[in-house]
Amino acid sequence: MVAQMSTFSLISRARRTVRGSADDIGWLQRASGMPPVEDGTKRFNELLESIRHGVHKLPNSMVYLLVPGLFSNHGPLYFVNTKMRFSKMGLACHIAKIHSEASVEKNAREIKEYIEEIYWGSKKRVLLLGHSKGGVDAAAALSMYWSDLKDKVAGLALAQSPYGGSPIASDILREGQLGDYVNIRKVMEMLICKVIKGDMQALEDLTYEKRREFLKKYPLPREFPVVSFHTEAGLTPAVLATLSHVAHAEFPMVAPLTAGQSAKLPVVMPLGAAMAACAQLLQVRYGEKSDGLVTCRDAEVPGSIVVRPNRKLDHAWMVYSSLNDDPGEADASQVCEALLTLVVEAGQKKRHEITMKDE
pLDDT at 5: 43
Beta strands (DSSP E) in 43-196 are: 62-67, 92-95, 125-131, 153-159
Distance CA 358, CA 215 (A): 30
**302, 31, 281: which is closest to 171 by C-alpha?**
281
Radius of gyration for the alpha carbons in the chain, expressed in angstroms and rounded: 21
Distance CA 99, CA 76 (A): 14
Distance CA 181, CA 168 (A): 11
pLDDT at 168: 84
Distance CA 229, CA 44 (A): 10
Residues 332, 81 contacting (CB under 8 angstroms): yes
Instruction: Please name every residue paired with 295 in a beta bridge, in sequence order, or none if there are none.
Output: 290
Residues 247, 316 contacting (CB under 8 angstroms): yes
Distance CA 180, CA 176 (A): 12
pLDDT at 199: 55
SS3 (DSSP) at 196: coil
Residues 163, 17 contacting (CB under 8 angstroms): no
pLDDT at 170: 84
Residues 157, 343 contacting (CB under 8 angstroms): yes
Distance CA 197, CA 218 (A): 28
Surface-to-core class of residue 96, CB atoms within 10 Å of its CB (0-12 exposed, 13-18 middle, 19+ buried):
buried
pLDDT at 197: 45
> DSSP class of residue 290?
B
Domain ranges of the chain: 36-165+204-251+304-356
Q: What values do phi and psi take at 155, rounded to 5?
A: 165, 175
pLDDT at 178: 46
Q: Would you tell me how many other CB atoms lie within 10 Å of the CB of residue 306?
A: 20
**135, 64, 49: which is closest to 334 by C-alpha?**
49
Residues 37, 305 contacting (CB under 8 angstroms): yes
Distance CA 22, CA 288 (A): 9
Sequential pLDDT tens for the chain (359 residues): 544 444 444 445 445 555 778 899 999 999 999 999 999 999 999 999 999 999 999 999 999 999 998 766 655 668 989 999 999 999 999 999 888 778 999 999 999 999 999 999 999 999 999 999 999 999 999 999 999 999 999 999 999 999 999 988 888 776 654 454 545 445 444 444 444 344 567 888 999 999 999 999 999 998 889 999 999 988 665 544 544 444 444 444 444 445 555 554 444 445 667 778 788 888 888 899 999 889 999 999 999 999 999 999 988 888 765 555 567 789 999 999 999 999 999 999 888 777 776 65
Q: Residues 315, 303, 355, 115: what is their CA dihedral angle, to the nearest 10 degrees?
A: -40
The pairing of beta strand 264-269 with beta strand 247-252: antiparallel
Residues 177, 225 contacting (CB under 8 angstroms): no
Residues 224, 125 contacting (CB under 8 angstroms): no
Beta strands (DSSP E) in the chain are: 38-39, 62-67, 92-95, 125-131, 153-159, 226-229, 247-252, 264-269, 305-307
How do the residues of the chain divide into helix, strand and coil, expressed in percent and rounded to 5? 50, 15, 35
- CATH code of the domain made up of 36-165+204-251+304-356: 3.40.50.1820
